[in-house]
Structure 1
Amino acid sequence: MNHATDSRPARRRASVRCVPALPIAVAVLAISAAAAGAQPNVVKLASLVPEGSVWHKILQGTGAEWSAATGGRVALRIYPGGVAGDEPDMVRKMRIGQIQASALTVIGLASIDDSFMVFGIPAMFDSYGELLYVLDRMTPTLKQRLDAKGFVLLNWGHAGWVHFFTKKPVTSAGEMKKLKMFVWAGDDRMVQLWKASGFQPVALAATDILTGLQTNMIEAYPTTPLAALTLQWYHSTPFMVGNGLAPLVGGLVITKQAWMKISEPDRNAILAACRKAEDQLTREIPAQDSIAVVEMQKRGLTVTTVKAEGKAEWESTAQGFAAKMRGTMVPGDVLDMALEARESFRSQAGH
């Protein structure tokens, strides 16, 4: 807060009664100087987003807007590329106060609250329109669930549409089951679910995928084309299954403790900046994801298509995942809410 002071030279007065005003004026000036040089409230944010990637640049832009919109009172310090560890590590560090915020995928979000895993169910969504419709209707509930765990959702993020990238061509679920595939470490339930469905999951940290490919610990992994291109993983996996698996949804979260240390006007300014970032991600990422496929094809990537006779097997496998995840990995009421919203969208779209 700026305190206005009269800088004009004070008139000389004979009365000694004015002398006590001098230390008061000095104190006011000292307070003003301290306020002017006050350190910003630094929010440390960690993420797996690669340094220099489109996601990192959007985060940097968001940080610049935080600072500008709050008059420098809040600063965002970003730790990209997994330098703070894998997503479960980031969540743990938020809980103990080492960092205050993270840009997470559904895997990290689900480690806070299982409800977010509804967006990780294979073949749950057919399009971005469908996904955005469901997100819009579920956001209030999901925010409440995060709030109960001590976190605040600032904005949704998008990383593209997940496909399987493989060392060998895959045109059926049966062929996919022959390959050792990456599964995110930290939740053994997902590992067991893939095993029960006949696959060969290998649990690793996301930061160890490249090493796993180079040492043949894994022969396949699910990710988005834009991520595969950005991280250059596709060089080790020259085949991509053309049939999409699921959207890769994410979110920017901050601990409630850190959030409440920010004044309400500044929180409103930050939320406005985050809405802008969400709009940018929603608008730009799908197009860049498609461009990434074309760029990788120019450099040797082969896109395979599941055979017509194999589609039923894929769909059956996906439906089995949804049934097995209900009540174990995704709360039943949350899954029902998502399915209801999805069917509402499909009925309106004439599906």
Structure 2
Amino acid sequence: MLIDRRMLAAAAVAAAGWMLAPGAGPSPAGAAEVIKFATLAPQGSVWDTTLRGMGAEWTQKTAGRVELRLYPGGVAGDERDVLRKIRIGQFHGAALTGASLSEIDPAFRIFLLPMLFESWEELEFVLGRIGPELERRLEAKGFVLLHWGHGGWVHLFSRAPIVRVDDLKAQKMFVWAGDDASVQQWRRQGFNPVALAATDIQMGLQTKLIDVVPTTPIAALSLQWFRQAPHMLGLGLAPLAGGTIVSRAAWEKIPAADREQLLPAAAAAGETLRREVPRLDAEAITQMRQRGLSVAEVGEAERAAWQQAAEQFAGTAREQNVPPEILAATREAIAEFRRRKAP
């Protein structure tokens, strides 16, 4: 039961013929080093404004020697497209979900296992333990992590109410096109996945091609998906964790002294998201309820059934290519966190 990717995707609005030339060598003397970043987060969202603030500080701290050029709202394509463009030099960095980071290294699939984490605080504790290893894995693949990202907590938004696991099995659920292993796993467990590009979610809901979208409250509100899927399962499935990365090739074009100036601004951006996203998630639910959203809370029996279904999927984590040492370290950190929190 992997939480399918790019739940925060905005509709692509690329103009006809829009293209970026592949990156060349170092910038001419005196010219700013332009770092081209992409994100699916809508323009004006907390992720967009936070990255813009980081970019403004980069320019200020380096006296104009580094410029962050941001392409929000899916104008550069979905995350799979963006990652490909980073690899060929058309873009240099992006804010990515854990699902897309897992295309760089499978260790990031740990963030896709449902009901593994119980709170943001627990996730932060685990990142404190496994984060350095995940960063090392990214660096080995040619990327630098600037900060961890928070996309909100994933819930099921549906056309008809969902309370029990069987309610979900009776509806057509969006899953990300291209992840065939995940699609097959859903089917083996008796669910009805429909693979679409994230940019086709709105169309899929409007045409009833799909009935269910696993996404965050912030995304459901900002992209208005809750209009066609006005029922939300109150039980959260997983945090939409991710990170903002830059290619090591682009990063190392920046003089070392300037890079040292950029890192604190990047860390501050991550802290802003850590602080603001949970608050905005809760506010989004309140606003959608005022506009007709129905939230289905589950009892203990239903919660246990959802947990059992999640554990069945987590039992195939090895099949899903989560490195066993990452899975073991994560479970150990979770157990330690819960022991510390126990009364």
The reply to whether TM is greater than 0.5 is: yes
Equivalent of 2:36 in 39, 44, 57: 44
Aligned residue in 2 for 1:227:
219
Match of 2:124 in 1: 132
Cα shift at 1:114: 0.9
Please say if residues 46 and 103 of structure 1, whose CA atoms lie closer than 8 Å, have aligned partners that are also in contact.
yes
In structure 1, what is the Cα distance between the partners aligned to 2:90 and 2:28?
27
Q: TM-score, normalised by structure 1?
A: 0.88
1:329 shift after superposition: 2.9
**Which SS does the other structure have where 2:190 is aligned?**
coil
Q: How many Å separate the matches in 1 of 2:177 and 2:82? A: 14
- Residue 153 of structure 1 aligns with which residue? 145
TM-aligned CA deviation for residue 243 of structure 1: 0.2
1:309 to partner: Cα distance: 2.5
Is the 8 Å Cα contact of residues 66 and 269 (structure 1) preserved in structure 2? yes
Alpha-carbon contact 2:46-2:273 (below 8 Å) kept? no
Q: In structure 2, how many angstroms separate the alpha carbons of the residues matched to 1:158 and 1:93?
A: 23
Q: SS at 1:102's partner residue?
A: strand
- Give the match for residue 27 of structure 1: none
Q: Give 2:264's aligned residue.
A: 272
Contact persistence 1:171–1:307 (CA under 8 A): no
Which aligned pairs between 1:137-286 and structure 2 lie closer than 5 A?
137-286=129-278
Give the structure 2 partner of residue 349 of structure 1: 341
Unaligned runs of 5+ in 1: 1-34
**In structure 2, how many angstroms separate the alpha carbons of the residues matched to 1:275 and 1:51?**
21
The TM-score with structure 2 as length reference comes to: 0.90
User: What is the aligned partner in structure 2 of residue 303 from structure 1?
Assistant: 295
| Distance in 1 between residues matched to 2:253 and 2:29, nearest whole Å | 19
Give, in whole Å, the separation in 1 of the partners of 2:139 and 2:290.
45
Question: Do structure 1's residue 123 and structure 2's residue 110 form an aligned pair?
Answer: no
How many angstroms apart in 2 are the aligned matches of 1:321 and 1:136?
25
Quote the Cα distance in structure 1 between the aligned partners of 2:98 and 2:67. 25
Contact preservation (8 Å) 2:41, 2:47: yes
Q: Name 1:20's counterpart in structure 2.
A: none
Q: For residue 327 of structure 1, report the CA deviation from its aligned partner.
A: 4.6
Residue type of the partner of 1:326?
Answer: R
Deviations, residues 14-58 of structure 1 (Å, cap 9, x unaligned): xxxxxxxxxxxxxxxxxxxxx998220001101100111111111
- Higher alpha-carbon Rg: 1
Q: Which moved more, 1:134-143 or 1:37-46?
A: 37-46
Q: Following the alignment from structure 1 to structure 2, what is the Cα–Cα distance between the partners of residues 328 and 107?
A: 12
**Using the alignment, how far apart are the partners of 1:234 and 1:76 within structure 2?**
33
Contact in 2 for aligned 1:88/1:186 (Cα 8 Å) = no
Deviations 1:297-337 (A, max 9, x none): 00000001234332222111100111112253311111111
Which residue is 2:77 aligned to?
85
Q: Tell me how far apart the structure 2 counterparts of residues 343 and 309 of structure 1 sit (CA, whole Å).
A: 23
- Write the deviation string for residues 116-136 of structure 1: whole angstroms up to 9, x where unpaired: 110110001001110000011
1:82 Cα shift? 0.9
SS at match of 2:316: helix
Aligned Cα root-mean-square deviation (Å): 1.5
2:45 pairs, out of 38, 53, 71, with 53
Q: Is 2:48 the counterpart of 1:68?
A: no
Q: Secondary structure of 2:253's match?
A: coil
Give the distance between the partners of 1:146 and 1:339, measured in 2 at CA: 21
Q: Does the residue aligned with 2:268 lie in a helix, a strand or coil?
A: helix
Determine the C-alpha separation between the residues in 2 that align with 1:321 and 1:78: 37
CA–CA distance in structure 2, aligned partners of residues 200 and 62 of structure 1: 41
The 8 Å contact of residues 93 and 99 in structure 1, kept in 2 or not, is answered as yes
One-letter code aligned to 2:337: F
- Corresponding residue number in structure 2 for 1:8: none
In structure 1, distance between residues paired with 2:150 and 2:245: 14
Pair 1:316-2:308 in alignment = yes
CA distance in structure 2 between the aligned counterparts of 1:98 and 1:63, rounded to whole angstroms: 18
Paired residues of 1:101 and 1:254 also in contact (CA < 8 A): yes
